[in-house]
Amino acid sequence: MSETVGTLHTKIRVAVLGATGAVGRELIKLLANRKFPVADLKLLASPRSAGITIPFVGEKLLVEAVGDDSFQDIDLVLASAGSSTTKAWADKAIGAGAVIIDNSSAFRMNPSVPLIVPEINPSAAKHHRGIIANPNCTTILMAMVVWPLHRVQSVKRIVVATYQSASGAGARAMEEVKTQARAILQDQPPPTEIFPYPLAFNLFPHNSPLNEQGYAEEEMKMINETRKIFNAPDLRLSATCVRVPVLRAHSEAVNLEFANPFAVSSAREILSQAPGVKLVEDWQINYFPMPIDATGRDEVLVGRIRQDISHPCGLELWLCGDQIRKGAALNAVQIAELLVRENLLGVPNTANKK
């Protein structure tokens, strides 16, 4: 790997695994826009995507089919290709000396793998063994807003309902919603290839597998990942995740319970200064965060902060965030920037022990 790591002036050899997907393409844009110190960029995907070109700082880079030798001379792998793909190639990448920042759920709950939101638990990166996990999109967006309040007074219980856009299922899902909308407006049956049911002009509970308690896998991700990121294994949390006919950016209604009353004015002040968060409230015209405003933005928008009238120690709030940016690609690039700043690239001898 590069010999001098520790500032963003260091040049890093980067591979993007899953480069042709929605998150992969966003990763490539962010590397350029944030001026990440890329010495060389390798774009990797499945064989069916090989040969596609993607622009990067004035060049058109060719997408290669991932293979046994893809990670030689690579310092950093940004993976956005799904759990099975990351698992299939993790040993090769780490064995070649690369550090993986993985956007899938493959390693998130592995006790030896840090699960990081840089604004919340950056010090966890010091303990990586070659893999760092990027949390689920809904988890990241909620954690960004809840953490600043939790630091002031510990949250006892969280009840959240999510309103998740098509972008969470990838670029093909976004196109399917557009196709469905056109079909419905022409009185034609909407096609359902990515989603199990029509999403245009409709909504349905998240279609991930259900456990014996009736909770979807997506809901359990929010519960378990939040506990790990906050280092609060006993935090009480319940989630209901819903797919809604929005192309990009997720929304969440969050109810927080504290041990003591938490003044709304204090919560607003704290969140107005929280890194990566933007307070959006205009009570006169009933204007609060909307996914259309969050799309393409780095910040998580929060507003409609109010006292829970059913509980003296409760707060209600509403948030929106771009699932592809802070909910996925941006968080991964921020982790990469953290690794460079803190001289944490490179794989310890204990790497690859899962």
- Catalytic annotation, residues: 137, 250
SS3 239: strand
DSSP state of 259: S
Q: 253 near 161, Cβ under 8 Å?
A: yes
Single-letter residue type at 322: D
Dihedral pair phi/psi, residue 45, rounded to 5°: -160, -175
Whole-angstrom distance, CA of residue 338 vs CA of residue 340: 5
Q: Which residues contact 290 (CB under 8 A, 6 or more apart)?
A: 251, 301, 320
Whole-angstrom distance, CA of residue 168 vs CA of residue 142: 15
Whole-angstrom distance, CA of residue 104 vs CA of residue 51: 24
Q: 132 near 348, Cβ under 8 Å?
A: no
3-state secondary structure 322-333: CCCHHHHHHHHH
In this structure, the number of other CB atoms found within 10 A of the CB of residue 309 comes to: 8
Whole-angstrom distance, CA of residue 250 vs CA of residue 137: 8
- Can you state the percent helix, strand and coil of the chain, rounding each to 5? 30, 25, 45
Whole-angstrom distance, CA of residue 160 vs CA of residue 353: 35
DSSP state of 108: T
Single-letter residue type at 47: P
Q: 303 near 317, Cβ under 8 Å?
A: yes
3-state secondary structure 2-63: CCCCCCCCCCEEEEEECCCCHHHHHHHHHHHHCCCCEEEEEEEECHHHCCCEEEECCEEEEE
